[in-house]
Structures are given as C-alpha cells and as structure tokens.
Amino acid sequence: MHSIKNLLYNIADDLLIMGHRHSEWTGLGPILEEDISFSSLAQDKIGLAYQIYKILNETEKEDLPDRIAFLRNESQYRCCQFVELPNGEYDFSLIRHFLFDHAMDLRFRMFGKSNYQPLSFLSRKTAGEMKYHILHADIWIKQLGNNNEISHVRMQKAIEVAFPYSLGMFETFPFEKELIELGIYQGEQEIKISWLEKISMILKEANFNLPDPEKIKPVFGGRTGNHTGFLKPLLEEMNEVYSSDPETEW
C-alpha cells in the first residue's frame, strides 16, 4: 500500500535525521546534564526510526532497515527540511526539540487509535519515551522564558527562525486522504491544529510570542524529496562507516 509507506517513511526519516542532529550535542552540551539528555533523546529517536524501518521491511516488504537508513541518496529521503537544519546555538536546538517533540507526541497518540496494528502497537510501546521528551523540552522552555532578558530575547528569536520550518512537519503527501478514510490516522491538518493549541499554551506560560501561522509561509519540500543543502553532507557523515562495507556483520 503506497499510502502507508509514504507515511512511514515521512515519520522514520524525520526521527532518524533529528536523532542525528541531537547526537551532535554529545560532548558539547552547555552543561553535563544537557549533554546526557540530548544523547538520550538522540538514542530514542534513532531507535524509534529503526522500529519503523523494521515495519517497512517486515510488513510492507521494503528493504532491510540498515539499507533503508544508510543507502539512499538525499532525494529519496522524506524528512521535512526542519530536521535537516544545523544545530546552531543551543537556543535554536532547544526550540526545535520543543516544536518537533510535541508534534511527534501528538502524532503517536493518534497512532495509538490507528487501524494499522504495527503503528498502534509501536505507539503504546513508546509512550513513556514521548512523555519524557516533551517534559524535558517544556521545563527548559519555561525556565529560559522566565529567566532573564538575555535568555528571553535569544529564545524568542529562535522561535521566529524555527517556526516557518516547523510548519513543514505537516506538509501533506500523496494518498493521505486514503489513510484517513481507512482509519489509519486523522491527517496532517488535525495534528497541526492540536499542535498549535498545545505549543501556544506552553509558550504563553513562558512569556513567548508565537508568530501568527496565518501570516507565515511554511517551508515545504522535504516530503517530495526537495531538501536543503545541509542534508547531503549530513548523510555522508552519517553513512560513512556503513557505506564502506554494507555487507559487514557487526
């Protein structure tokens, strides 16, 4: 079924690339606690991407998970452009973590009610991880929003830079209507509405202003294989060891 494959690739590729970006903070976090936290977030996301690639392999007859993850070229990835962007300073990485994980949490809550059993099972299995991810993000957003003028200004600027890209997480894709009709999930627009409501409430508590989504042009393209110039070098770095000898058994 092409429709479910599209959905699975979208989610797994988002998680894989976001996990790799998080992993780049290992050894570089602003404090030791955050160094450990981002390493843990990275591990969870890459592990979840692997589980979805397994579904693609075992249920949808796609290639082996490692080959899916490492042997495609950049135009074959279906991640949104938001996850490809470099980490930049910690303010941007934290805002991206906040925006991304709230979307993913809502997405997997929806999957918990899906008629597609592999996704509904995986959703229930990963509920604890999702809860930890959004808890970590919310704590830091509120702390930095209510800390001092410097932290507030920097975080507000990061929100304004990240927000148009974050809307790209909800880019529609072929056969989405079919998935909605089959009861597999409720669609990108429904997730986006719930996401805006949730993040608006938290950002308001932290004294941040969310740009008006009606006045922002979303950055789309990733779901159709159109990516930023940042994805190709990231993939080359990520795939270096595996591509040197794909047949090796580790």
Q: Which amino acid is at 99?
A: L
Domains in the chain, CATH or no CATH each: 2-244 (1.20.1260.10)
Q: Is the Cβ–Cβ distance between 25 and 39 less than 8 Å? A: yes
**Average pLDDT score over the chain:** 91
**In the predicted model, is pLDDT for residue 250 greater than 50?**
no
Question: In the structure encoding, which two tokens stand for residue 108, read together?
Answer: 């997997």
User: Among 32-41, 92-101, 147-156, 234-243, where is mean pLDDT lowest?
Assistant: 32-41
**In the predicted model, is pLDDT for residue 144 greater than 90?**
no
The CA-atom distances, in angstroms, between 220 and each of 12, 79, 83, 96, 169 are 17, 10, 12, 16, 8
